[in-house]
Amino acid sequence: MKVGSLFSGIGGLDLGLERAGHTVVWQSEIDPFCCKVLAKHWPGIPNHGDITAIDWGTVEPVDVLCGGFPCQDISLAGTGQGLKGARSGLWFEFARAISILRPRYVLIENVPGLFIRGFYRVLLNLAAIGYDAEWQCLQAAYFGAIHRRRRVFILAYPHNNGTPPTAHRGCFGTRTPPGEHGTTQEIYHYSGGRGTWQAKPGMDRVGNGVPDWVDRLGSLGNAVVPQVAEYIGKQIPLTFPSG
């Protein structure tokens, strides 16, 4: 399926969905360092830049629209403004894109703080657009990482003929995430490695002299773990949505 990527960052969602067999056809990102990373790994793929300035009527339609909108105002360590904040409030631009592009699937990512700082509003916006939604909180540790990294993933799709849904299902997919109820061996098998991931070489002062080290750390901290996105991507298309 064709994928459009919003708030692309360094392409964690994009990479995971491509590993699942989908194809990214355009992206939207403004951070200079992240844009360099995207240009290197997705050469020739258009980057539409600032989401607030995009004319969606001129953008190529996609089957899957994905993105992790900014979490700074939602995170429990953040400002607490929720969707009223200038950064997390960019969700409403995400919703605008959905309403115009009308993709078959929408994949939304954010921190668990969304559950108490805007989750209901996100569901209401999706319902008003005519999309049903399912969600699941997944940890990178389920996929072999050495840290938890809990994130909320919402998968939405048109409800029946596009009329507002009356209810939302609670959890997408039928497969148990690897490691949630499985053995450590099963986690490693899924992630294609042996043992947990190695975050970086076990050398003292390894970061000394590495170009753009601060930008690298910041972009990694904001990125979606590709293995998690791949797991979700392998469940698209779902078997039951109508539209």
Classify residue 208: in a domain, yes or no. yes
pTM for the whole structure: 0.81
Classify residue 240: in a domain, yes or no. no
Classify residue 98: in a domain, yes or no. yes
Compute the distance between CA of residue 221 and CA of residue 55 in angstroms, rounded to an integer. 30
Classify residue 241: in a domain, yes or no. no
Domain count, the chain: 1
What sign does the dihedral 48-52-54-60 (CA atoms) show? positive
pLDDT of residue 224: 82
Classify residue 143: in a domain, yes or no. yes
Give catalytic status of residue 71 as yes or no: yes
pLDDT of residue 187: 34
Classify residue 86: in a domain, yes or no. yes
CATH, residue 178: 3.40.50.150
Q: Which residue has the tokens 């960052």?
A: 9
Long-range contacts of 89-95 (CB under 8 A, 24+ apart): 90/7, 90/51, 90/52, 91/118, 91/121, 91/122, 91/125, 92/125, 93/51, 93/52, 94/6, 94/7, 94/51, 94/67, 94/69, 95/125, 95/126, 95/129
Tell me the mean pLDDT per 10 residues along the chain, length 243. Answer: 96 95 97 93 96 96 96 80 89 96 96 91 94 91 83 90 51 52 35 48 55 64 84 81 47
Active-site option among 34, 35, 71, 137: 71
Domain hosting 102: range is 2-233
Classify residue 122: in a domain, yes or no. yes
